[in-house]
Amino acid sequence: MEMIKIFDTTLRDGEQSPGASMNTEEKVRLALQLEKLGVDVIEAGFAAASPGDFEAISRIGEVVKNSTICSLSRALTKDIEIAANALRNAKHKRIHTFIATSKIHMEYKLKMKEDEVLKRACEAVKLARSLCEDVEFSCEDACRSDVGFLKEIALAVIEAGASTLNLPDTVGYRIPSELGSLIKEMKECVGDRAILSVHCHNDLGLAVANSLEGIKNGARQLECTINGLGERAGNTALEEIVMILKTRQDIFKGLDTRINTKEIYASSKLVSDITGIRPQPNKAIVGKNAFSHESGIHQDGMLKNRETYEIMKASDIGIIESDGLVLGKHSGRAAFRDKLASLGFVDISQEALDKAFAEFKILCDKKKEVYDEDLRSIMSAESISIPQVFELVSLQIGNCSNGVPHAAICIQKDGDKCVDAAIGNGSVDAILKTIDRISGYNGVLKDYKVEAVSEGKDALARVVVKVEFDPNKPALIGHGLHLDTMFATAKAYLGALNSYLAMKELIKHKNMGV
Ligand code: KIV
Ligand code: ZN
């Protein structure tokens, strides 16, 4: 079998998706899941972009052992040195440097001529290679670049030390036959001197089809993201490309990946829980409806022979069928642990288990039946470990159709309880204003999402907010899970505030050289 390297850029290009920013803890959790999934290269961020990215890459480099950790860097000395520094503790590391090669980018964005771009690219690769064995070079907007220039720069950067040459369709412009021809021509030029890589954007909905054509024509690295997250319309979806290669072995004979497909669902779920961005229900492979059959004719066919309407099994991507057991207030610790194991939560520390069990018991007092989705959400909320500077103690809201919406909140900070109240344009506004008054920080709510975790009128509410506390810093995501939507809102907002304080603390330490 010839291996296709899977290069996951959920933490870098995926994070560039509107509303998808993640904090360091979340990035580390996701990187560990990507390692479990069997990803060859994890692009963990763009180290020079922010102290948060630098910190996340460093931490991921310390904990992930089986995947190569990569940092993006422009073709600039400073960026490359920062990338090398962020990767210093990684067991397997890669510097990924890039510069644009299309006429439009060189003329208007870079204001550089071809020869200057070529020189800059070679210098960047040489420097990166002096700091790291494994160097990838990308010709940004390769698919709109002059092929003659692409060949010239490809040979030069390989000579300078790049072992992977990536040819991105940065604006998602190409159709499969065109992309295939480009990769074929570049493969003839480069031969086996470097691994050719494809990185496709989905602006015309062709990212996956284009990536496949790249593989057919000689590319041996695929750049992709979980759930197809990414700039604008997103990137090639990892789960789609991997399942195509697996399901259509008749066409892609002899080609394989290291991906453990049974970890696909867990990876997709983690990305959507962290970012609050759910795949559309009819999304291939990981959408809610991807394996459900509504029509009577289909259901009948399925009962007679699953293969009448199913080309893959839900279990292939790790969807564990519910064992039908619903937990409730009389369920003990052993039943709880067994249930978690049946949902795939096996390597849980005693501390995490105790915390989750306590949450479960609180929930049981309020809710008759606790469903699998409730437990998954508890587990996912429990593993977020940002220091809780501000903690919600209690919340009261008052609002009736002709009244003045108001909130009274008690928050704990450093062991002290502070209580205050405010009025607002609706309950959410009153809650956020009250928290601002107590904390002394003024957040601007950029996004607010609420969804029911499971079925029934008493379903848990999951709220995801995106809040900007400083116009010069990225907005931060906060999550809240509670039976009461307004309580979940307050928890989510405080979560974003706690993430902001953790980020400020980090920047302070960095500036002090700690
Ligand atoms: O789309 C693109 O061109 C990129 C490069 C930086 C690799 O993301
Ligand atoms: Zn990209």
| pLDDT tens for each residue of 60-78 | 999 999 999 999 999 999 9
Model confidence at 431, pLDDT cuts 50, 70, 90, reads very high
What pLDDT, in 10s, does the model give residues 72-110? Answer: 999 999 999 999 999 999 999 999 999 999 999 999 999
C-alpha span between 250 and 252 (Å, rounded) = 6
CB-count exposure of residue 262 (10 Å: 0-12, 13-18, 19+): middle
* pLDDT > 90 in the chain, percent: 68
C-alpha span between 108 and 421 (Å, rounded) = 53
pLDDT of residue 379: 80
Cα 155 to averaged position of ligand 1 atoms, centre (Å): 20
What letter would DSSP give residue 132? -
Model confidence at 362, pLDDT cuts 50, 70, 90, reads confident
Q: How far is CA 266 from CA 32, 319, 320, 501, in A?
A: 12, 8, 10, 29
Instruction: Give which of 198, 204, 153, 193 is closest to 180, Cα–Cα.
Output: 198
Query: Ligand 1 site: residues with CB under 6 angstroms?
Result: 13, 98, 138, 140, 166, 168, 170, 199, 201
Give the architecture (CATH level 2) of 2-275: Alpha-Beta Barrel (3.20)
Cα 170 to averaged position of ligand 1 atoms, centre (Å): 6
Please say if the pLDDT value at position 4 is more than 50: yes
Highest mean pLDDT among 178-182, 285-289, 294-298: 178-182
Q: What's the rounded mean pLDDT across residues 42-51?
A: 96
What letter would DSSP give residue 311? S
Shortest-distance atom of ligand 1 to CA 235: 1
Strands (E), 343-492: 390-398, 406-413, 416-423, 444-452, 461-468, 476-482
Q: What's the rounded mean pLDDT across residues 136-145?
A: 98
Highest mean pLDDT among 253-257, 294-298, 321-325, 502-506: 253-257
Q: How far is CA 204 from CA 103, 138, 176, 201, 286, in A?
A: 22, 21, 11, 8, 21
* pLDDT > 70 in the chain, percent: 96
- Please give the mean pLDDT across all residues of the chain: 91
Q: Fold for domain 390-512?
A: Double Stranded RNA Binding Domain (3.30.160)
pLDDT of residue 514: 45
Pocket test for ligand 1, best of 11, 13, 197, 236 (most atoms within 8 A of CB): 13
Closest residue to atom 5 of ligand 1, CA basis: 140
Please say if the pLDDT value at position 34 is more than 90: yes
Cα 171 to averaged position of ligand 1 atoms, centre (Å): 9
Cα 231 to averaged position of ligand 1 atoms, centre (Å): 10
**235 annotated among ligand-binding-site residues:** yes
Q: What's the rounded mean pLDDT across residues 183-188?
A: 98
Instruction: Give which of 94, 98, 99 is closest to 41, Cα–Cα.
Output: 94
**201 annotated among ligand-binding-site residues:** yes
Closest residue to atom 1 of ligand 1, CA basis: 170
Closest residue to atom 8 of ligand 1, CA basis: 13
